[in-house]
């Protein structure tokens, strides 16, 4: 029997878990109806479709959601909590039509200097801190918009987002580099190029053109060019984030392939990092938030 429902609603994907009264997972579902494919009034029907097999036949169920469902263009916009603060602030109840649903969304985090925001990663951070209480270091969450987060004493102190994944996709598929970089992958080329990029002085726009010049002047296999583009972007990001990670433990949370690239870039910069599975930590964070905020707090 479903005690409550947890959900992670991102830009491209919705994941749902049904939790029993004892906290055990009694069912789950996924959908590709991410935020980017939905208008605000399409969220509730999309949720009901995806969660159909998990909803109780009678009565209402508590639903706790993290991620982009709380964005301005999501289901309903919820606030940001300003760092420094606990990773998870009180979830905000939103209005729904179906009488079976009592839906709350976890606020994102914001920072005033430098200006920054996150939605969803705060829940993975909370999950990580549940498993590693007292962690004092940096959490890096690689993705389309990679987050570098300084945490200590159970709180998020500061963070920085780099849109490296999005730059990679734009450059590899839509730029003058596209013919060079749209396919293949050469692991050795990544390691060679990232060891240079992490010592970069920040001439990204020029280094990118260097990839094009290499394609014209030398024979560069597409897989090598694609790996070099990734190495250039990740390496320069790692270099620019040195003030955050220098002399601190680094935990990587994310997709295994991307985690591996960031781990190798950090290694080239002289920093060891440990990898953790994002999927499990999201659910752990949602469960911790559900326990902490059993009652509405507003």
Question: Which parts of this chain interact with a copy of itself (CB under 8 A)?
Answer: 72, 80, 110-112, 114-117, 145, 160-164, 166-167, 170-171, 174-176, 200-206, 208-210, 212-214, 216-218, 233, 236-237, 239-241
Task: Name the residue nearer to a copy of itself (CB basis): 132 or 242.
Answer: 242
Task: Name the residue nearer to a copy of itself (CB basis): 54 or 68.
Answer: 68
CB of 233 to a copy of itself, least distance (A): 7
CB of 107 to a copy of itself, least distance (A): 13
Q: Could you write out the DSSP letters of every residue in 199-235?
A: T--S-HHHHHHHHHHHHHHS---HHHHHHHHHHHHHH
Q: Which two tokens stand for residue 176?
A: 């003058």
Task: Name the residue nearer to a copy of itself (CB basis): 95 or 112.
Answer: 112
- Of 116, 122, 164, 162, the closest CA to residue 139 belongs to 122
- Of 56, 49, 19, 53, the closest CA to residue 32 belongs to 49
What does the alpha-carbon distance between residue 245 and residue 16 come to, in Å, rounded to a whole number? 33
CB of 22 to a copy of itself, least distance (A): 39
Q: What are phi and psi of 291, to 5 degrees?
A: -65, -45
Q: Would you say 123 and 286 are in contact if contact means Cβ atoms under 8 Å apart?
A: yes
CB of 221 to a copy of itself, least distance (A): 16
Residue with tokens 């994944």: 165
CB of 206 to a copy of itself, least distance (A): 4
Cα 45 to the center of its chain, rounded Å: 25
Task: Name the residue nearer to a copy of itself (CB basis): 72 or 294.
Answer: 72
């Amino acid at each position: 029997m479903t005690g409550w429902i947890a959900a992670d609603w991102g830009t491209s994907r919705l994941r749902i878990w049904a939790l029993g009264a004892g906290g055990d997972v009694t069912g789950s579902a996924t959908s590709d109806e991410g935020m980017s494919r939905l208008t605000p009034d399409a969220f509730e029907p999309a949720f009901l479709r995806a969660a159909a097999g998990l909803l109780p036949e009678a009565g209402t169920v508590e639903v706790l959601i993290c991620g982009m469902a709380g964005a301005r263009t999501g289901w309903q916009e919820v606030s940001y909590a300003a760092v420094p603060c606990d990773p998870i602030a009180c979830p905000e109840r939103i209005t729904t039509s179906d009488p079976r649903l009592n839906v709350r969304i976890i606020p994102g985090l914001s920072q005033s200097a430098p200006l920054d925001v996150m939605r969803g990663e705060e829940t993975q951070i909370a999950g990580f801190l549940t498993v590693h209480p007292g962690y004092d270091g940096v959490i890096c969450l690689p993705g389309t918009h990679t987050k570098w987060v300084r945490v200590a004493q159970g709180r998020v102190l500061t963070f920085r987002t780099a849109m490296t994944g999005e730059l990679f996709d734009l450059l590899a598929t839509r730029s003058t580099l596209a013919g060079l970089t749209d396919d293949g992958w050469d692991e050795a080329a990544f390691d060679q190029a990232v060891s240079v990029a992490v010592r970069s002085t920040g001439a990204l726009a020029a280094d990118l053109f260097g990839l094009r010049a290499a394609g014209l002047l030398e024979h560069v296999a597409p897989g090598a060019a694609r790996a070099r583009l990734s190495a250039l972007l990740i390496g320069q990001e790692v270099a620019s984030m040195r003030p955050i990670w220098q002399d601190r433990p680094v935990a990587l949370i994310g997709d295994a392939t991307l985690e591996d690239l960031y781990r190798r870039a950090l290694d080239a910069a002289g920093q060891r990092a440990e990898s953790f599975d994002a999927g499990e930590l999201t659910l752990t964070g949602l469960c911790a938030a559900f326990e902490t905020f059993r009652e509405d707090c507003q």
